[in-house]
Amino acid sequence: MSEAVSPARARWPVPRSPRLYAGVLAGVAALLAAGWWIYHQVSHVQVDDARVANDMVSISSRVAGWATQVRVIDGDSVAKGSLLVAIDERDSRLHIQELEARLAGIPARREELQAQIRMIDRRTESAIRAQKAAVQAAAADRVAAETRENLARTENRRAEELAPIGAMDRAQLDQSRAALETSRQEARRASANLDNARAAVAQAQAEREQLAVLKRQLAELEPQEAELDAQLERARLDLLDRAIVMPFDGVVDKVFVDAGEYVSPGQRLLLVHDPARVRVEANVKETDIRFFRPGKKVGITVDALPGQTFEGSVERVGNAATSEFALLPNPNPSGNFTKITQRLPVRIAVRQRDGLLKPGMMVEVEARAGD
């Protein structure tokens, strides 16, 4: 006879195999995952045409010369102000010494001209006063000589009138004639002396004109000094430009020069960037661009960093599709048209994390579609 079944065993079913429960749980998990994936695909927009970007700075030389030192190599992290490349500075230093010597001679030349001006001023002023006094004396002598000449002429005329009638002898007539001739010569000599005195005054005044020449030379020293100052500042700037330093705390991406090469103005020497100022540039489909408004928060995943997620914020949305910047436009002359979804550039701000984000890395951007 069969055993009697107890009431407890009849009320509860016999437990099944653990594999059955595991399969049921796996099925439920798969359904939940599929549902979540479908929901996520509907509620979010993903962009895979995106990459990390940065402002790559090309450092060039403003001066020409031989590169004497190259202190960095590709990949170096360099602090702001550190020397990158040194260019031969011997000519610049010699030029600075020459300009400094020329500038040092300006004060000595100024003092020399001022001394000459004072000396000529005193000498010519006294000479002019003396010559003017001589002119006055010569003028007085000429007046006296002319007076004596007039007196001698009068006496001679009287003698010429008295001699023929016997009122004056021949000797007195000859004396009057001689006195008249002497007075004439004295008058001519006095006139000549007066002319000489006046000429001496004119000569002294002409010598005083040297003061104007010296004063012009003295005035020209000021612009000469200013010009030399400007040349000296330019030479010092040229000397500073021969030490090419890092403009910010950053990383050296590429070095294009070696020590011993000749560098020309404008030649690219290094390529650097600031790793702290990274961003993401994405090309978003025009059908999804409405979900990328400025200020919108987005999620960023990096292909090279699996398992890590970065948060970004939309900074700017382009106003023209990327096709507008193509080198070869497509005018479609045949009339055959295939509609292709265009993409617009979007710039996304993202915070750097331990230098993990490097320019050129491919990333994926995800934004909520419901916002």
Helix (H, G, I), strand (E, B) or coil at 316: strand
What sign results for the dihedral spanned by CA atoms 156, 161, 162, 168? positive
In the predicted structure, residue 62 carries a pLDDT above the cut 60: yes
Are the beta carbons of 239 and 65 closer than 8 angstroms? no
Same domain (yes/no): 127, 262: no
* Rounded Cα gap, residues 19 and 234, in angstroms: 87
In a domain, 306, yes or no: yes
Tell me the C-alpha distance between 139 and 197, whole Å: 9
Same domain for 223 and 324: no
SS3 250: strand
In this structure, is residue 156 part of a structural domain? yes
Query: What's the pLDDT at 1?
Result: 41
pTM confidence score: 0.62
Q: CA gyration radius for the chain?
A: 54
- Residues 338 and 296 reside in one and the same domain: yes
Instruction: Please indicate, yes or no, whether residues 171 and 66 belong to a single structural domain of this protein.
Output: no
Segment 182-201 shows an average pLDDT of: 83
Q: Are both 324 and 337 inside the same structural domain?
A: yes
What pLDDT, on a 0 to 100 scale, did the predictor assign at position 140?
84
Residue 266 shares a structural domain with residue 341: no
Domain that holds residue 176: 92-238
Domain match, 156 and 200 both: yes
> d(Cα 341, Cα 83) in Å, to the nearest integer?
49
Position 156 pLDDT exceeds 80: no
Q: How many whole angstroms separate alpha carbon 189 and alpha carbon 145?
A: 9
**221 and 351 fall within a common domain:** no
- HSE (side-chain half, CA atoms, 13 Å) at 309: 7
Output the CA–CA distances (angstroms, integers) from residue 354 to 178, 275, 346, 351, in the order listed.
126, 10, 24, 10
Same domain, 110 and 231: yes
Question: pLDDT tens digits for 293-311?
Answer: 999 999 999 999 998 999 9
Please, is 294 exposed, middle or buried when counting C-beta atoms within 10 Å of its C-beta (0-12, 13-18, 19+)? exposed
Residue 67: give its domain's CATH number.
Answer: 2.40.50.100
Q: What is the CATH number of the domain that holds 146?
A: 1.10.287
Query: What is the number of structural domains in the chain?
Result: 3
Given a cut of 80, is residue 69 above it in pLDDT?
yes
**Per-residue pLDDT, 88:** 95
281 in the same domain as 168? no
As a whole number, mean pLDDT of residues 44-48 equals 84
What is the enclosing helix (H) or strand (E) of 299?
strand 297-302
Q: Give mean pLDDT, residues 317-321.
A: 87
Give the pLDDT band of residue 148 (cuts 50, 70, 90): confident
What CATH number is given to the structural domain containing 329?
2.40.30.170
Give a yes or no: residue 32 inside a domain: no
Run of H or E including 211:
helix 210-241
Higher pLDDT, 283 or 25: 283
